[in-house]
């Protein structure tokens, strides 16, 4: 999508830069302002708590021709626009950790000065490492709770399923392998068939069989409620971070 020689990463922590430069073949620098002057597109891949000092640092380098893409959770485009020069084009993105294996899920929204071309460009970047949707900013906190935090909710499920199999005598390595493939396969089945998850669940569930007994136990322990509550709680925390 973008040649390595056209990418420059900036980080105050020198070992990070050394590793990125060596592994990816990209340019590196410790000066955020210098990198922002050089770049047409600036990606703010930093924690929300660390965002304001970086915005102050790069502000002199930003104009209405440059595109700023932020992946800082909970931070609105308006907040970033207010910190930068008037007319700054800002795109907000909520990706997740699965971008590291090109299976990420990302939601993208535009600030008041960004246009359709800017949105398409941002979507192209994140579609190259998974899939993306374009949405309105009012939905971004919900997205953060769902796909941003979501992988962390799935990992304990995989571990717990494997633990159940280990309890029943299966070795740990094979239990984890099967649990992981089960989750991957279920997701792929939904993506391929586009069937509702309830319909696919019913396809696996025979009257009086093993699966319905397991589902009964999940309902007994309010597992679906727990997942809903986890997403809602994470989304509300995202709103708090944006204040």
- 32 belongs to an annotated ligand binding site: yes
- The token pair at 207 is 């009257």
Per-residue pLDDT for 70 more than 90? yes
- The token pair at 146 is 């769902």
Average pLDDT of the residues in 68-77: 93
- SS3 letters for 29-63? ECCHHHHHHHCCEEEECCCHHHHHHHHHHHHHHCC
- 174 belongs to an annotated ligand binding site: no
Average pLDDT of the residues in 100-105: 96
Q: Which of 40, 161, 150 is nearest to 106 (CA)?
A: 150
According to the model, what pLDDT value does residue 5 have? 87
* Same domain for 209 and 175: yes
Q: How many CA atoms lie within 13 A of 145 on its CB side?
A: 18
* Same domain for 128 and 18: yes
Which residues pair with residue 69 across a beta bridge? 43, 91
Q: Residue 49 is part of a domain; what is its CATH number?
A: 3.40.50.720
- 46 belongs to an annotated ligand binding site: yes
* Same domain for 196 and 76: no
Q: In the structure, what pLDDT confidence band is assigned to residue 23 with cuts at 50, 70 and 90?
A: confident
More confident residue, 157 or 73: 157
* Same domain for 114 and 31: yes
According to the model, what pLDDT value does residue 130 have? 97
* Same domain for 223 and 131: no
Per-residue pLDDT for 243 more than 80? no
Q: Residue 166 is part of a domain; what is its CATH number?
A: 1.10.3730.10
In a domain, residue 145? The reply is: no
C-alpha 157/C-alpha 193 separation (Å) is 23
C-alpha 82/C-alpha 26 separation (Å) is 31
According to the model, what pLDDT value does residue 86 have? 84
C-alpha 201/C-alpha 164 separation (Å) is 20
Average pLDDT of the residues in 115-134: 96
* Enclosing domain of residue 229: 150-241
* Same domain for 155 and 120: no
Average pLDDT of the residues in 180-189: 98
C-alpha 25/C-alpha 18 separation (Å) is 10
C-alpha 170/C-alpha 179 separation (Å) is 12
According to the model, what pLDDT value does residue 140 have? 95
**Cβ pair 68, 61 in contact under 8 A:** no
First-to-last alpha carbon distance for the chain, in angstroms, is 35
According to the model, what pLDDT value does residue 11 have? 84
Per-residue pLDDT for 12 more than 80? no
Average pLDDT of the residues in 150-170: 98
Q: What is the mean pLDDT of the chain?
A: 94
Q: In the structure, what pLDDT confidence band is assigned to residue 2 with cuts at 50, 70 and 90?
A: confident
| Least reliable range by pLDDT among 73-87, 108-122, 156-170, 205-219 | 73-87
- 6 belongs to an annotated ligand binding site: no
According to the model, what pLDDT value does residue 16 have? 77
Q: In the structure, what pLDDT confidence band is assigned to residue 4 with cuts at 50, 70 and 90?
A: confident
Per-residue pLDDT for 100 more than 90? yes
């Amino acid at each position: 999508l973008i040649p390595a020689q056209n990418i420059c990463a900036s980080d105050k922590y020198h070992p990070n830069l050394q590793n990125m430069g060596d592994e990816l073949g990209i340019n590196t620098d410790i000066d955020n302002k210098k990198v922002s002057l050089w770049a047409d597109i600036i990606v703010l891949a930093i924690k929300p708590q660390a965002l304001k000092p970086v915005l102050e640092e790069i502000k002199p380098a930003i104009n209405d021709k440059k595109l700023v893409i932020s992946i800082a959770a909970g931070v609105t485009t308006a907040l970033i626009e207010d910190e930068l020069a008037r007319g700054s084009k800002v795109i907000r993105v909520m990706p997740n950790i699965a971008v590291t294996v090109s299976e990420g899920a990302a939601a993208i929204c535009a600030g008041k000065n960004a246009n359709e071309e800017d949105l398409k460009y941002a979507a192209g970047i994140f579609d190259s490492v998974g899939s993306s949707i374009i949405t309105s900013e009012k939905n971004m906190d919900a997205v953060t709770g769902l796909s941003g935090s979501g992988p962390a909710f799935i990992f304990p499920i995989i571990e717990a399923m494997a633990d159940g199999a280990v309890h029943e005598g299966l070795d740990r390595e094979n239990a984890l392998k099967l649990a992981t493939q089960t989750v991957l396969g279920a997701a792929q089945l939904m993506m391929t068939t586009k069937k509702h998850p309830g319909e696919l669940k019913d396809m696996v569930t025979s009257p009086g069989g093993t699966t319905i007994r397991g589902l009964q136990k999940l309902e007994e322990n309010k597992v679906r409620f727990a997942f809903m509550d986890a997403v809602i709680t994470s989304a509300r925390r995202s709103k708090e971070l944006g204040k």
